[in-house]
Amino acid sequence: MIGAICFSTKAVIVKLAYRDTSVDAVTLLALRMLFSLPFFVISALSVSGKQGNVKFTSKQWLAVAIVGCLGYYISSLFDFLGLQYVSAGMERLILFVYPTLVLLISSLLLKEKIKKLQWIAVAVTYGGLLLAFVNEADFQSGENNHFVLGSILILVCAFTYATYIVGSGRLIPVLGAAKFNSYAMSFACLAVLAHFFITSDGSLLHFSPSVYYYSLLMAVLSTVVPSYLVSEGIKRIGSDNAAIVGSIGPVSTILQAYFLLYEPISPIQLFGTLLILAGVLIITLKKKAPEARTVA
């Protein structure tokens, strides 16, 4: 639960950084990954140094790199870009439809049959998202004409993260959760940093102290610490129960955004949130959850 709450602080920290500094999305993401990278590299080396470690094949290295970059480079990039235009609470609600996207992708690519109850869960989830979206769109009208663009960017983030979940679900049973996560995150960090240095003329050394403070806070509190907490939690209660506990994430973000960012909470948004949580829980209870279940 603490891990899920820590993960949910990411959107709030990003919005605070946008509010208090002039940092752009790519730079902020690069700094997050720069501060996170040493932890994941040390973890990867530690896991690989254990007795009985089995080396990756060339295909496995490629698969880990692609899946890792898809989940925490491409997905995170769309997320940070979208957060420029939508509220933290709305971002988390859109992202939390990813279990239904996992279900749909698995059906299309892996030919897994979707049961009637699961279709109902999908309908309930997207009904809740539509309610929250319409309410937020009405509130944003006249204030932010890029709301729809931001929502689309976050939805693309949810789709790419769902694809990551499907891919990791195939790789983790073969490679092991700790080893996969450490190397996948390391590849993602390197990809983000490469993106920054290719597309930016500047460096990462000339920003105000506030930018580094928010980046370091996001790296430690919203990236490294929760990844280990959730992994340890899964060992003790199982991935299905961990996914259910992780449902606290959207609620946590909405509450944090209310108190820290002064984002309003409407009855319609709360009802839409409950519908999304209900749909996700139905799918979680009926379909075994992959190892990496919490949105980062």
- For 13-34, the pLDDT digits (tens) are 999 999 999 999 999 999 999 9
Q: For residue 212, which amino acid is it?
A: Y
Closest CA to 31 of 195, 184, 161: 195
Q: For residue 220, which amino acid is it?
A: V
Q: Which tens digit of pLDDT belongs to each residue from 45-70?
A: 998 888 778 789 999 999 999 999 99
Q: Which residues contact 77 (CB under 8 A, 6 or more apart)?
A: 25, 26, 29, 192, 195
Residue that has been written with the tokens 């949810």 in this structure: 158
Out of 52-61, 227-236, 270-279, which region has the weakest mean confidence (pLDDT)?
A: 227-236
Q: For residue 10, which amino acid is it?
A: K
Whole-number average pLDDT of the chain: 85
Q: Which tens digit of pLDDT belongs to each residue from 75-98?
A: 999 999 999 999 998 898 888 888
More confidently predicted of 218 and 97? 218
End-to-end CA distance of the chain: 14
d(CA 270, CA 266) in angstroms, rounded, equals 6
Q: Which residues contact 284 (CB under 8 A, 6 or more apart)?
A: 99, 240, 243, 244, 247
Does pLDDT of 99 surpass 50?
yes
Does pLDDT of 291 surpass 60?
no
Per-residue pLDDT, 162: 87
Would you say 249 and 88 are in contact if contact means Cβ atoms under 8 Å apart? Answer: no
Per-residue pLDDT, 234: 67
**Residue 20 CA from chain centroid, whole number:** 23
Per-residue pLDDT, 14: 96
